[in-house]
Amino acid sequence: MADADVKSEAKAETSGANVEELLLQLSLAQSLAEERLDLLMRCRADLDNVMKRTAREKADNVKYASEKLICKLLPVLDSLEAAAKHDEGSKGLYLQLLSILSGEGLMPIEAKGMSFDPYRHEALYQVETEGLEEGTVAEELQKGYIFNSHVIRFSKVSVAKR
């Protein structure tokens, strides 16, 4: 009987060691699974961010696709505006072209009489005036334009000083 007791005791120790080893392996496997799940979730978040950024860039590309053409047409618009001051037919052409370009997102920048804004105006020089406050645009020398909330040409202005 003593022999049987030793064998069952040895089996209990062996099975206890196996259980501990299995628990350790299970713990390692769970830790690896959590690590891989975390990595997978990070990769998914990165992919989502790339997809969102790509969609934003595509929308911006579509929004600003005609910017080059509009920039090339600005001198024509300037010439028509100058001619419109002297000729009614030219004024009609100027207003028609401005209307078409406005439909594409082009807006003239208001300058004369406005407070000088370095984000919209380019000051070429200062003039002394009595009727305007210091820092006010006294004269617009070349009209500036905004295309889809983005300044594509600054207004060239003179600024009042005292």
Which stretches within 64-127 are classed as H helix? 67-84, 88-103
Q: What is the pLDDT of residues 57-114, one digit of tens each?
A: 998 888 888 888 899 899 999 988 888 888 888 888 899 999 999 998 999 999 999 9
Cα 9 to chain centroid, rounded: 73
What pLDDT score was predicted for residue 105?
A: 92
What pLDDT score was predicted for residue 90?
A: 85
Contact 145, 152 (CB under 8 A): yes
Angle between helices 88-103 and 67-84 (to 10 degrees): 160
**Higher per-residue confidence, 16 vs 153:** 153
What pLDDT score was predicted for residue 13?
A: 64
Find the angle CA(81)-CA(147)-CA(141) to the nearest 5 degrees.
40
Give me the residues paired with residue 147 across strands: 106, 150
CA dihedral 141, 147, 151, 156 (to 10 degrees): 0
Contact 126, 160 (CB under 8 A): yes
What pLDDT score was predicted for residue 6?
A: 58
Q: What is the pLDDT of residues 4-34, one digit of tens each?
A: 665 666 565 667 678 999 999 999 999 999 9
For domain 67-161, give the CATH number: 2.30.22.10
How many other β-carbons are positioned within 10 Å of the β-carbon of residue 37?
A: 10
**What average pLDDT score do residues 135-162 get?**
94
Please give the helix or strand (H or E) that residue 55 lies within, else none: helix 2-63
Distance (Å) of CA 82 to CA 76, 79, 137, 150: 10, 5, 20, 25
